[in-house]
Structure formats: structure tokens, C-alpha cells
Structure 1
Amino acid sequence: MKMRLKNKINLAFFLIVLLMMIFIGITSTYFFEKRFEDYTVEKIKHESYLLVNQITQIYHEEDRYWNLISIENIGVSAMERGFLIKVSDSKDHVLWNAMTYNKGYCSDMLTQMEYNMKQQNANFQGSYEEKRYALLSGDKSFGSLTIGYYGPYFFNDNDVKYVNGLKQLLFGAGLFALGLSLVLGFYISVKLSRPLIAINENAQKIMQGNYGSRATCPSTTLEICELSETINALSEALDIQEELRKRLTSDIAHELRTPITTLQSHLELMIEGIWQADPERLEGLLNETSRLSNLVCDLSKIAQLEREQLIISLEELDLHALAIQVVETIKSEYYKKEVDLVVEGELALMMGDALKLKQVLINLLNNALKYTPKGGAVKVAVHASETDVALVVSDTGIGIPAKDMPHIFERFYRVDKSRARQSGGVGIGLSIVKAIVNAHGGQLEVRSEEQKGSVFTVRLPK
């Protein structure tokens, strides 16, 4: 069953505090009762020791005289504390007995103590107990003191009030903690869920095609802000891609319309007999079909990139020698535009796909030629290290504006739209380069400065 985040947080807070209350309640009650039991047992021992001392001190050994009034005062005071005493002389004659003094009070007291203990623990097993202590003067016994109480230990009324008060305090603290957990849980859940709801609404707008939608981050939680920034970056990327696709559609329509219109009009004129199908006009039609063929080839490359089906076949090759081959095949284009093209470097053996790496260099060189004016220069340099080889293509062209740098490797993106249209490109050359470099496990870097040129560096593992 799915639940909202704020409900889950509230439930989690409530369950955690409830479980902690149960755990603390059980453990604290157990340890408190155990310690209080030990305290009560020690208190009984201490009270018995005091009573023995008090009775011993009121006996006059020289006169062999018992102060019965003092014994009665001690006995009554002991009864109030839950102890029933019986004092006997050396001949075991009873001098004072609490049960005889006030039997009804003693019975009610023992009944009340049994009730108190049963209230604290229904399974408590207790009964009336007596312990007899010898009264000594030096080594000579002059009587005995019998102390009776509800045992093995008992809680008097004050003890019961203390224990019940502590339990009520723990229970009240637990209820307060539960209430506080609900308030904090609600507050935290709102603070967490509100920005997530806003991010979700923004994502739904993006899903519906509103790529310009952006979400702010009204939260101090790092992960939520990162999620918001990621969604915004995705929205921006989709917005750019959508714009590029629209531009591509428009450009393709333009690129198709021109040669098709030319072919249609020329063929109609030839069919109607207005124009003769001479070699010059047929050559013009052939050029238009070549333009269509090149455009279809570019569209095929786009489809391949969209499917991301880029498979490489590794073989040992010399990247420097491969660069020389590519430069020789493309040098004529540079000659026509009067742009110098040179190759520098050294032996650079590596494992790679020769055809794909030729495509990388061809795309980089075509790109450099396109944006390098007459009289400029392009240099290809190949260097090798212990772990990788570097292919560097530098030019003295117009450079790349800073605003376009983050997008130059995106599909269909073109820096100079007007010149790109004239050249017939659709803006996938650098995308293909990046895809091939990534497939080889390499890295592609670019540095550029407007009106000074660009440097593309491809680093490939050996």
C-alpha cells in the first residue's frame, strides 16, 4: 500500500517514540523496582538495628530496671513505621507487645501493607514475619527484642505515594513525548514533502512538454536541492534538444526543398521541350541529387546515434600514420580555401577502430576548415605517453563563443546557424566525434577563444 511521504514520516516518528516509551518504561520500571526493593530491604535491616540499639539503651543494668514508658514510646513509634515489636526480659517474660497494646491497629496495618504490595505487584507473595534479636550488655543477655513486619519487604503509604508518583511522571513524560513527536513529525514532513511536491509538479509539466518550466528549491535539505537542480538541468537539456530538433526539422525541410524544387522545375522544362537535356544541365541535376544523397547520409548517422548502436572493432594501429592518411585525402579542400594544413608527431601505437578514428579526424578537420578563414592554419599533432595517445587538432579560426561552449557536443547544435545551413551540415559532427571517443574509453577536451582559434584534444588509452 502506497502512502504519502508526510504520513510515513508522522507514522515513523510515532512508532519510534512509542517503541522507545515501551522499552524505557519496561527497563526503567524493572530497574527502579529492583533498586527500590533492595532499598526497602536495607531500610528494614537499618530500622531493626536502630530499634535494638534504642531498647538496649533504656535498660538500666545496675538496677536491672526497664523503663516501660520509654519502651511503649519506642513501640508506638515503630508501629507508625510498620514494625511490631515485642520486648522480653531475660526470663522471657513479655514486658511490652504491640499486638497486645493495639491489636486492631496492628491487624489493619498488616492488611494495608498487603494491599499496598498487591497493588504494586499482583503476584507478590508476602506474609507476616518475625525476627528475634538478643539484647546484650557486654557478653551477657538481659532480654530479647522480637521485630515483626510484613515481609520479605513492604511499602508503607509514603513509599506507595512515591512509587505511584514516579510512574505517573514517567507516563506523563511519555504522553508528552508522543504529542511532541506528532508535532515534530508533522512539521518535518511538511518541510520535506512541500518542496518534493513542487518538484513533482514541475516534473509533470516537463512530462507534458513544458520544457521551460523551472523549480526553485524552498528547502535547506541538500539532497532535495540537488534533486531540484537535476530536474531543472534535465528540463533545460530537453528544452535545448527540443529547440535543436525543431531547428533541424526546419533545416532539413529547407535542404530538401531546394534540390527537389530545382530537380522538379528542370525536369518539367525538359519534358515540355523548353530545355534540352544537354550534359551541362544533367550535371547540374546530378549535383542536386548528390546534395540529397549527402543529406540522407547525415540523417542515417543521426538515426544511428539516436539508437546509440556504436560498435567498434579493435586492431593495432599507428595513430600518427592514420592521421597522415586522413590529411592527404582532405588536403585538397584546404588547398582550395588557401588554408595551411600540417601534421606533427611521432609513432603512436594503440588498439582502436581505424575507420571510426578516421571519422573522428575527418570531422574535426572539416569543422576546423569550415571556421578557419582564408590564410589561416590548422595543425594536427599526435603524441604518445606510457598509458595513452593524444590527438590534437588546433586552428586559427574564429573560435567558439563562451555561451556555446557547453553545447557544442550536443546533437544538432550549430554555432553559426547561417553558415551551417550554407554548408549543408546538420550539427552532428562533434556529436559523432564524442560518441566514438567515448566508445574507445577516451576523453575529449576543447579550448577556444574568439577570433584566435580552437584546440580539440582527444586522449585515447593505448
Structure 2
Amino acid sequence: MVKITLGKKLSLGFLVALIGSLIITSIISNLRISNEFSKYLVDEHNTKINEIVKFIEDSYNKDNGFSSDSQEAMVRNANMNELYIEVRDNSGNIIFSSGNSYMQHKNMMNSMMGGGKSSMMGGLSNINSGEYKEEKHELNKDNSVVGTIIIGYYGSSYFSSNSLTFINNLNQSFIISFFITLIFGLAISFLLSRQIASPLEKITKTASDMRKGNLGARSNIKSNTKEIEELAFSINYLAETLQNQEELRKRLTSDMAHEIRTPLTTLKTHVEALIDGIWEPSKERFQVFYEELDRLSKLVNILRNISKLEQAGITLNKSKFNLSSEIENIVDTFKPIFMRKNCLITVEITENIIVYMDKDNLKQMLHNLLSNANNYLEINGRVKVSLFQKIDHIIIEVEDNGIGISEKDLPYIFERFYRSDISRAKNTGGSGLGLTITKSLVEANGGKIQVESKIGEGTVFSIKFPKIICA
């Protein structure tokens, strides 16, 4: 199947619509004008015949017939109007005849009308230029019929030189208007098609560059068409998002390679020392092995979390439980961890809030937030976990007085693989996925998560669930 560009398709569509509209308009207009003009000519012809009949009746005298002046006037009238005029008495005797001078013009008039009709777009179908006709009218005088008036003519007598000129001018006007409108329409269709197709071609090129791996490509389109402008914005946003994700992936790969290399290098060095007999096997040596293997195990778990995050969705296993008691239990499991750093964790919980949601998701959310807080607390730091409810929301807050998050990092902390410069400097082994997973779990359960933080003052994470999850 042959494919054509959008610009050509739009131009062709505009052109077909334009030509079709012009043809339909021309045919309808010509037929309408032709019918009205035919009616006008017939009315004019009848008026002319009636005037001639009245002149004959006024000129006739019962005793003397027609005077010589009247006869000359009738002959002139017949020749001027290309008519044959004959008057008979009641006995059928001819008392006047305009002669056959009109008949001598027959061939000339038929030739003229043949040319006139062929030049017409629709023709005057109600007028037959080659047929000879006669009309008979009563000759009335003093309220009595004294004879018969016969008026003969060819169909061509309907057409005067002025009517033929009008028809020709009308046809020329149609033809000139057709071509002028066609040219104008072509110009407009070309401009419109270019205004639509040109920016779309540029956007397509940008998308093609992105497909080829150039995520730095952008579509610098300025258009007064709302849909095109929104499409360009969406393509640019997609390119920027993909570029950021790619940079974060590369950053994670580099970090993971470095962090995996460190325990492997340590293990390799220690094993070589044992093989060469430099070291003797001891509990302390095996303890080092265990710690390095534990680090590798954590890195494997991080990779498993990445795989989970790439899945299409999160399966929920909802149940009814006491949210207040569950949060207290989670906090209790973290108290020994915080005590090792001489840090304090406290709670402020509204009692007996019953909810219907995924309990395992809740545990993982709080585990990620509390682990994150523990990693960035200074000695003697404090963490406070709060649970309270408002008219239409349940709110969980995790507040710490740790090192805080810089303003430039704050918009990106929920992006997958993102790690701030501070977190990279610390030996936390973080992957930049904890907060991303937390956000996904919160939203899967119908909630929203927000963060407020200042460097050197601390951070507050707020999770807001709709009251509808309450049992």
C-alpha cells in the first residue's frame, strides 16, 4: 500500500473538497439562473406579442382596414422583432401580411442560436432555437371578433442580441470565478496543510531521534494550534523524563558496580591470603567474610526490589486491622536499632483507628521511612511517628531532626534510582529506590505522600489516606 505524507493528504483533501464544492455550486447556480432567465425571456416575448396584438387592434378600421402608415409600422415591427405577422378576416381572407423577410433570416438566426447555446454551461432548455411556431390571437374591434391575428416566429426570436451578450458574459463570469476561486483555494489549502503538517513532521523527527537513542532531542515547535502545541510539550516531557531515567540508571549501575566490587575484592584478598598461608583461619577472619557476604546479600535484595518496581502493578491483599496498634508494633521493632546510635524514637498515636488495607504494604512503607531516617540521623537524634485523623483523612507522619534534604534534591527524591550527593557520600548502600517503592505502595492503597525538609533541621514525611479505607 502506497503511503503519502500528511501534508500531501491534507492538500489533496482540501483540493477535492474545493473542486467538488465549486462544481456543485456552479451547476446549481447555472441551472437556477438558466431557468429564471428562460422564464424572463418567455415573459418578455409574451409581453411583446401582446403589445403587437394591441397595436394591430388599435390600427384596424372595420371599413377601411389598415392605413398605409399602419401597415408600414407593422412591417417594421415584424422585421425588428423577427416575426411573421398575418391578419385575416372572419372569412379567412388575408388583409395584411408582413411578408417573408423574417423567413429569410431563419438560417442566420439558427446559426446564431446554435453558437449561443453551445457556449452556455447549462443551456436554456425551455427554449428551442430551431422550431417554428405560430400563435393565433383574436382580432377584436368594438367588443366583437372581426378576424384573426397570426404571429409566427422561431424559437430564436426569444433571444435578442442583449440576451445573448448577457448569457456569454454570465458564462465567462462563471469560468473566471471558478479558476480564481480554485487558485485561491489551492493557496489556502497549501498554507493550512503546511501549518499542520510541518510541526508534526518536526515532532515525528524528534520522536524518531529518541527512538534511535538521542534522548537529548527536543521539539522546538511554536504553533497557534492547541493540540499541536500540547503534543510537542508531551514529546519534550517524555524525552526529558527518559533522559533523566537513563542518567539515573547509569548512575545506579556505576554505584552498584562500585559497591559490589568492594566486598568481592575484600573476599578475594582474604581468600588468597588464606590459600598462600599468610593468614591462619580464625573466627575474626570468618567474621569479615560473613560481613562482606551480608553486604552482597543486601545488594541482591536491592536488585530484587528493582525487578519488583518494574512490574506493571502492585497486587493488594487487603484486610481489616487496627492501624494504631500496628504502627506501635512497627515502632517497637525499630527501637533497638535507634538505641544503638543513642537516638530516640517516640510516637503520638490516636487509638483504635480501624482500616481496611494491605498490612504488608503498610509495614514496608514505615520500614523504608524509618530506615531512611535512621541512616541520616546524627548521634542523639530524634524521630517521631504520629497518627491522627481529620474529617475525611487519616494522616501518618514520620518526623526527624536529621541532616535534612537540600532544596535542589527535594523535587526528585521519589524518582527511581535518585540519590542525593549527601546520600552518596555516606556509606549507606542505598539504591535510590526506597522512597520510590514507598510512594508506589502509598498510591496503590489510595493515598498520597509528601515531604518537607530543610538542611540541618530535619525532614517530615506525611502519608495521607482517604477516610474511606476505615472499616
TM-score scaled to structure 2, two decimals?
0.85
What is the DSSP-based 3-state SS (H/G/I as helix, E as strand, rest coil) of the residue aligned with 1:251? helix
Q: Which residue of 2 aligns with 1:443?
A: 448
Q: Which residue of 2 aligns with 1:286?
A: 290
Change (3 A) 1:106 1:153: closer
AA aligned to 2:69 is I
Aligned length: 460
Deviation at 1:107, TM superposition (A): 5.9
Deviation at 1:82, TM superposition (A): 4.5
What is the DSSP-based 3-state SS (H/G/I as helix, E as strand, rest coil) of the residue aligned with 1:8? helix
Q: Take 2:441 and 2:447, find their aligned partners in 1: how far apart are those partners?
A: 9
Preserved CA contact (<8 Å) 1:90 1:144: yes
Matches within 5 A, 1:225-374: 225-308=229-312, 310-337=314-341, 338-373=343-378, 374=380
Preserved CA contact (<8 Å) 2:373 2:383: no
Change (3 A) 1:88 1:312: same
Bigger mean CA offset, 50-59 vs 84-93: 84-93
Preserved CA contact (<8 Å) 1:324 1:343: no
Deviation at 1:452, TM superposition (A): 5.5
2:416 is the alignment partner of 1:411? yes
Query: Please, what is the CA RMSD of the aligned residues?
Result: 3.2
Deviation at 1:104, TM superposition (A): 1.0
Q: Which residue of 2 aligns with 1:163?
A: 167
Q: Take 2:425 and 2:350, find their aligned partners in 1: how far apart are those partners?
A: 31
Preserved CA contact (<8 Å) 1:347 1:384: no
Matches within 5 A, 1:29-428: 29-59=30-60, 66-88=66-88, 93-106=93-106, 108-109=108-109, 112-113=112-113, 116=116, 121=123, 126=128, 127-137=131-141, 139-151=143-155, 154-308=158-312, 310-337=314-341, 338-373=343-378, 374-383=380-389, 389-419=394-424, 421-428=426-433
TM-score scaled to structure 1, two decimals?
0.87
Change (3 A) 1:361 1:110: same
Change (3 A) 1:110 1:93: farther
Deviations 1:96-143 (CA, angstroms, capped at 9, x unpaired): 333445431356446654665576559878422222222434523354
Change (3 A) 1:346 1:157: farther
Preserved CA contact (<8 Å) 1:345 1:381: yes
Bigger mean CA offset, 67-76 vs 21-30: 67-76
Deviation at 1:50, TM superposition (A): 2.4
Bigger mean CA offset, 353-362 vs 451-460: 451-460
Bigger mean CA offset, 320-329 vs 417-426: 417-426
Q: Which stretches in structure 2 are left out of the alignment for 5+ residues?
A: none
Q: Take 2:127 and 2:277, find their aligned partners in 1: how far apart are those partners?
A: 127
What is the DSSP-based 3-state SS (H/G/I as helix, E as strand, rest coil) of the residue aligned with 1:422? coil
AA aligned to 1:224 is I
Change (3 A) 1:340 1:118: closer
Change (3 A) 1:110 1:265: closer
Deviation at 1:56, TM superposition (A): 3.4
Q: Take 2:375 and 2:99, find their aligned partners in 1: how far apart are those partners?
A: 121
Bigger mean CA offset, 141-150 vs 325-334: 141-150
Q: Which stretches in structure 1 are left out of the alignment for 5+ residues?
A: none
Change (3 A) 1:357 1:71: farther
Q: Take 1:400 and 1:48, find their aligned partners in 2: how far apart are those partners?
A: 106
What is the DSSP-based 3-state SS (H/G/I as helix, E as strand, rest coil) of the residue aligned with 1:220? coil
AA aligned to 1:292 is L
Change (3 A) 1:398 1:16: farther
AA aligned to 1:211 is L
Structure 1 vs Structure 2: percent identity of aligned residues?
Answer: 33
Preserved CA contact (<8 Å) 1:211 1:235: yes
AA aligned to 1:186 is F
Q: Take 2:262 and 2:80, find their aligned partners in 1: how far apart are those partners?
A: 118
